[in-house]
Amino acid sequence: MTSPLRGKTAIVGIGNTRRWNAPGRTPFDQAQEAAILALEDCGLGLKDVDGLFCAISSSGLPVLNMAEKLGIRPRHADGTMVGGASFLFHLQAATSALVHGLCDVALIVYGSNQLSAGGKLVSVPDPQPYEAPYKPRYPISSYALAAARHMHLYGTTREQLAEIALAARGWANLNPDAFARGPLTRGELLASRMISDPLTKADCCLVTDGGAALVLTRAERAQDLRSKPTYVLGTGAAVSHRQIAAMPDLTTTAAVESGQRAYAAAGLGPRDVDHVMVYDAFTITTLMFLEDLGFCAKGEGGAFAASGAIAPGGTLPVNTNGGGLSCNHPGMYGLFTVIEAVEQLRGNCGERQVQGCEVALAHANGGVLSSQATAILGTAATL
Amino acid sequence: MSSDPRFAGLGPDEVFAAALAEGRFIIQRCRTCGKTRHPPALVCAACGSADIAWITASGAGEVYATTTVREREGSYNVAIIELAEGARLMSRVEGIAPEGVRIGLKVTARIAPEPQPHVVFDAAGDAP
């Protein structure tokens, strides 16, 4: 049975600052700009916003700071912090809050200056005393342990991971807004510096600045706004652990659960999806999420990617903005998976446009494969 | 005192650290379902029971996952070890080149003293 929330809310505004290296701006500057852009996109104003959803790596109280800066007095707020998946948890919470009348206009917003402020991943303070003595590089060593296990069990290879980075660059080269564009070869990828075996620098996402925002309303109001609504057909979320050693199975993520919940809520399955956005913090995450969300069988992600399926011209358009690997990665990239899904469903994507795109799946990850959230979005034709 | 006596005494992180400082590697085992866990907590992650006992770990285990961290100063191993009792923990295999640590390698625990006591592993028996 599909969710009673299916199609009851819509993303009506999107904001993307596309400022991937913007010295002199704070995370809140990026977030404010994105919020303004998202509201202008749909023709609503700041005074209409009564639900605020926000997470920022460098702030413990992002909702309070955002509300003050935007001059709004929300009656509903949610600062859930589960890493890069936070914004899809917010999306799920916002759909429920809207339908149940806790708010009428929901703003989900994020900003970061991690590249211009220092060029390293900014993580929220969260000491791990049972990991610290062993000095894992955070977060790459955790993902490397998962990749090593996947290779051990399924014969996944570094060459297959390189195909994922290559596909992402192929899409980025069709996106004028992508940060990393230009030719990239298998040879360059495989010669990249090893950081935490088996992952190299080329397996890692970018470090950029950026800001993004979404505005959501109930579906009946969405029809009266100036943008083309993107309907929320189903969402799912799941949390499985904090530290990588506590992950129940290093080769299967809780995306299995979040995906099944989202598919069930939408009454759809992987075969119904026209466009896929999965959080590619590392090449291995694209591979594991394609498996866990049912686009290929467990263990076959490497062969699936190496077949060219996810690259431009392939059978399944994945991470069409260029992803975290080649478009942007301000630290908590999750919201950008939804932004690109909406752009594709609106038909705004120029050279990289997926033809006949009616159903898109956006999936985000947080922590070290710790939190997973999936959203299935559709055009009016899918209602 | 109206506090629940089941939770009296030091918290589990302190109990673990105190034992380690005395040269004992202890882990938790659920009295209800028998599953072990580490790092410690107040409940069993498998069944939710709050009836948890401490046991001395046998020290036997095998490498569940492994990576070599490459730093300018040199490379070192980081591994997840699955103990014979079932629990997994992050640690390091010493005594062999980091790249030589393989999934499935049998290992034995030892307590390294510096900078704080922490559990590390050596290849069991003859190193490969």
Best mutation target among B62, B67, B120, B121 (most A Cβ atoms within 10 Å) is B67
> Average of pLDDT values for A27-42?
98
| A100: pLDDT strictly greater than 70 | yes
Is A148 contained in some domain? Answer: yes
Is A127 contained in some domain? Answer: no
**Would you call B54 an interface residue with chain A, using a CB distance cutoff of 8 Å?**
no
The tens digit of pLDDT for each residue in A315-369 reads 999 999 999 999 999 999 999 999 999 999 999 999 999 999 999 999 999 999 9
Distance CA A27, CA A58 (A): 8
DSSP classification of residue A316: S
> Average of pLDDT values for B64-93?
98
Q: Which residues numbered 13-32 in B keep a CB inside 8 Å of some CB on A?
A: 13
* Cα of B100 to nearest chain A Cα, Å: 12
DSSP classification of residue A247: -
What pLDDT band is residue A120 in, cutting at 50, 70 and 90?
confident
Handedness of CA A91, A92, A95, A97 (dihedral sign): negative
Question: Least CB-CB distance to A136: which of B38, B78, B103?
Answer: B78
> Average of pLDDT values for A240-249?
98
Is A4 contained in some domain? Answer: no
> Average of pLDDT values for A44-56?
98
Model pLDDT, residue A121: 74
Half-sphere exposure (CA, 13 Å, Cβ side) for B86?
12
Is A293 contained in some domain? Answer: yes
Residue A142 and residue A16 share a domain: no
Burial of B54 (0-12, 13-18, 19+ CB in 10 A): middle
Instruction: Please name the residue ranges forming H helices in chain A.
Output: 27-42, 62-70, 86-99, 140-154, 158-172, 186-190, 219-222, 255-266, 283-292, 301-306, 323-326, 334-346
| B126: pLDDT strictly greater than 60 | no
The total number of structural domains that make up chain A: 2
**A&B contacts, CB < 8 Å:** 73
Averaged pLDDT score across all residues of chain A: 97
Model pLDDT, residue B128: 45
Distance CA B116, CA B18 (A): 11
Cβ pair A134:B92 closer than 8 A: yes
- The tokens for A100 are 């149940």
Best mutation target among A197, A201, A204, A242 (most B Cβ atoms within 10 Å) is A197
Distance CA B30, CA A39 (A): 53
Residue A214 and residue A301 share a domain: no
Model pLDDT, residue B1: 65
Under 8 Å between Cβ of A362 and A81: no
Residue A328 and residue A254 share a domain: yes
What pLDDT band is residue A130 in, cutting at 50, 70 and 90?
very high
| Residues above pLDDT 90, as percent of chain A | 98
Distances (CA, A) of A382 to A30, A290, A357: 33, 23, 11
Averaged pLDDT score across all residues of chain B: 96
Is A274 contained in some domain? Answer: yes
Q: Which domain holds residue A143?
A: 136-204+236-382
| B125: pLDDT strictly greater than 90 | no
ipTM reported for the complex, 2 dp: 0.96
Is A126 contained in some domain? Answer: no
DSSP classification of residue A301: H
Residue A177 and residue A56 share a domain: no
Q: Which residues of A touch B118 (CB under 8 A)?
A: 133-134
Residue A276 and residue A188 share a domain: yes
| CATH number of the domain enclosing A145 | 3.40.47.10
Model pLDDT, residue A316: 98
Which residue type, as a one-letter code, is found at position A26? T
Cβ pair B65:A135 closer than 8 A: no
Model pLDDT, residue B127: 46
Residue A353 and residue A271 share a domain: yes
Residue A337 and residue A361 share a domain: yes
Distance CA B56, CA A142 (A): 27
Residue A48 and residue A179 share a domain: no
Cβ pair A135:B76 closer than 8 A: yes
Residue of A nearest to B64 (CA): A149
**Would you call B41 an interface residue with chain A, using a CB distance cutoff of 8 Å?**
no
Model pLDDT, residue A317: 98
> Average of pLDDT values for A130-143?
97
Residue A251 and residue A180 share a domain: yes
Under 8 Å between Cβ of B58 and B85: yes
